[in-house]
Amino acid sequence: MSDQLVAALEAGGTKMVAALASGPSDILIRERIETTSPDETIAKLVGFFSKAAVDYGAPAVLAVGTFGPADLDPKSANYGMITSTPKPGWSLTDLLGPLRKAMGGVPAVFETDVNAALLGEVQWGAARGLRDAVYFTIGTGIGGGLMVNGDLVHGAGHPEMGHMRVTRHPDDSFEGVCSYHRDCLEGLASGPALEKRWNLAAEDIPKDHPAWEIEAYYLAQACLNVLAVAPPRRVILGGGVMHQTQLFALVQKKLAELGRGYFDLGDLEPFVVPPQLGDDAGLLGCVALGQRLLKSQAMTGQTTGS
Ligand code: ADP
Ligand code: ZN
């Protein structure tokens, strides 16, 4: 399978990273494209993939890990689209369709960026070999990807773990920054929440500032909520805010306190860890997604994707 080429796209709200790869250590070419208007961005992506196919060979599969909300249901009329984003111009944009068409209708897989990053970490990183794991990114927003028994989780729509409710820290009266819910997890614990609450860019808040105790309290609740619903064997916390590495031990300690011995943190130490693939988790996750689709099609003898 490793000789089949995957067209991989990590589609973010600020930038896209596109690549043609035959495996995690065989990225033949990659390019960063700023996310501007849908027309301009998609045209640049089509241009990149078309040239890459001429230079290196045609891909056998297209795998996209996207920002959201997005429609991941192959049976839906809006499959492959960004749906109701506040990002100007992108609501109801078909992202998958034009790319797939430019590749001659190759089999395709469309996932969330966080589920793709989680799969990358499961395949080659901090959750290697696990079948139950969760990945949160704590950055400009908060997103989460979830794997249960080897499957990336979607229900009626995809998880929106950044918008789960959390109990307020007794010392925190900040109103929250989520434009939908104010004081959900993202509203209280994202990078912009830290900045607005403390009137300091998150990266400039000193390591011994009480901000991090409060931040850890919210992130530990997020971990606890996932433990209560779909127990992972490992929690991966990534994104810009987690460059504050003191948070890992703080979150794990708070999690143990909040769990009061009731929740099983499993046998892997530590339970709360940083990603190992760093900034490449999303893109490599797309490579893994593409390879998984090819493998499952080879097993079932299918020739076309959804
Ligand atoms: P995005 O979420 O836009 O993809 P990032 O994951 O890099 O990008 O997150 C950006 C957020 O992370 C910003 O709010 C920024 O203030 C915050 N951030 C970046 N570096 C640090 C740091 N060293 N410490 C704390 N916060 C940081
Ligand atoms: Zn919210």
Residue 237 Cα to ligand 1 midpoint, Å, equals: 13
256 and 201: one domain? yes
Reported confidence tier of residue 305, pLDDT bands at 50, 70, 90: very low
Residue 183 Cα to ligand 2 midpoint, Å, equals: 7
Q: How many structural domains is the chain composed of?
A: 2
51 and 169: one domain? no
Alpha helices, H only, 152-245: 185-189, 191-198, 211-229
CA atoms within 13 A on the CB side of 27: 17
Q: Give the pLDDT score at 2.
A: 46
90 and 135: one domain? no
Q: Which ligand sits nearest to residue 195's alpha carbon?
A: 1
Does 10 map to a domain?
Answer: yes
Residue 168 Cα to ligand 1 midpoint, Å, equals: 22
> What is the three-class DSSP state of 95?
coil
Q: Give the pLDDT score at 298.
A: 87
For ligand 1, say whether the CB of 139 is within 6 Å of any of its atoms: yes
Q: Give the pLDDT score at 266.
A: 80
For ligand 1, say whether the CB of 192 is within 6 Å of any of its atoms: yes
Residue 165 Cα to ligand 2 midpoint, Å, equals: 8
Q: Which residue has the tokens 């729509």?
A: 157
Does 155 map to a domain?
Answer: yes
Average pLDDT, the chain: 95
Nearest residue by C-alpha to atom 14 in ligand 1: 191
Residue 240 Cα to ligand 1 midpoint, Å, equals: 3
What pLDDT digit, counting tens, does each position of 121-139 carry?
999 999 999 999 999 999 9
Does 69 map to a domain?
Answer: yes
Nearest residue by C-alpha to atom 18 in ligand 1: 240
Q: Which ligand sits nearest to residue 142's alpha carbon?
A: 1
Q: What's the domain range around 167?
A: 126-274
- The amino acid present at 39, given as its one-letter code, is D
Tokens of 226: 């996932």
Model's pTM, two decimal places?
0.94
Cα–Cα distance for residue pair 32/14, rounded to 1 Å: 10
Does 63 map to a domain?
Answer: yes
Residue 258 sits in a domain whose CATH number is 3.30.420.40
110 and 10: one domain? yes
Does 32 map to a domain?
Answer: yes
What pLDDT digit, counting tens, does each position of 217-270 carry?
999 999 999 999 999 999 999 999 999 999 999 999 999 999 998 988 888 889
- The phi and psi torsions of 210 (rounded to 5 degrees) equal -60, -15
Reported confidence tier of residue 212, pLDDT bands at 50, 70, 90: very high
For ligand 1, say whether the CB of 241 is within 6 Å of any of its atoms: yes
> What is the three-class DSSP state of 143?
strand
What pLDDT digit, counting tens, does each position of 143-158 carry?
999 999 999 999 888 9
Q: Which ligand sits nearest to residue 178's alpha carbon?
A: 2
CA atoms within 13 A on the CB side of 180: 12
29 and 130: one domain? no
Q: Give the pLDDT score at 285.
A: 97
33 and 141: one domain? no
Does 1 map to a domain?
Answer: no
Does 121 map to a domain?
Answer: no
For ligand 1, say whether the CB of 240 is within 6 Å of any of its atoms: yes
For ligand 1, say whether the CB of 202 is within 6 Å of any of its atoms: yes
Q: Give the pLDDT score at 85.
A: 84
What pLDDT digit, counting tens, does each position of 66-94 carry?
998 999 999 999 999 999 888 889 999 99
Residue 200 Cα to ligand 1 midpoint, Å, equals: 13
Reported confidence tier of residue 303, pLDDT bands at 50, 70, 90: low
Q: Give the pLDDT score at 301.
A: 76
Measured from the Cα of 201, ligand 1's closest atom is 16
141 and 171: one domain? yes
Q: Give the pLDDT score at 244.
A: 98
For ligand 1, say whether the CB of 239 is within 6 Å of any of its atoms: yes
Q: Which ligand sits nearest to residue 278's alpha carbon?
A: 1
Q: Give the pLDDT score at 3.
A: 67
270 and 283: one domain? no
Q: Give the pLDDT score at 302.
A: 65
110 and 159: one domain? no
Does 249 map to a domain?
Answer: yes
Give the pLDDT mean for 4-10. Answer: 97
Cα–Cα distance for residue pair 236/127, rounded to 1 Å: 8
For ligand 1, say whether the CB of 279 is within 6 Å of any of its atoms: no
- The amino acid present at 129, given as its one-letter code, is G
Cα–Cα distance for residue pair 286/5, rounded to 1 Å: 12
Residue 139 Cα to ligand 1 midpoint, Å, equals: 5
Share of the chain above pLDDT 70, in %: 97
Q: Give the pLDDT score at 265.
A: 86
136 and 67: one domain? no
Q: Which of 177-186, 194-203, 262-271 has the lowest mean pLDDT?
A: 262-271
55 and 140: one domain? no
Residue 148 Cα to ligand 1 midpoint, Å, equals: 28
For ligand 1, say whether the CB of 35 is within 6 Å of any of its atoms: no
Measured from the Cα of 191, ligand 1's closest atom is 14
188 and 105: one domain? no
Q: Are 207 and 244 in contact (CB under 8 A)?
A: yes
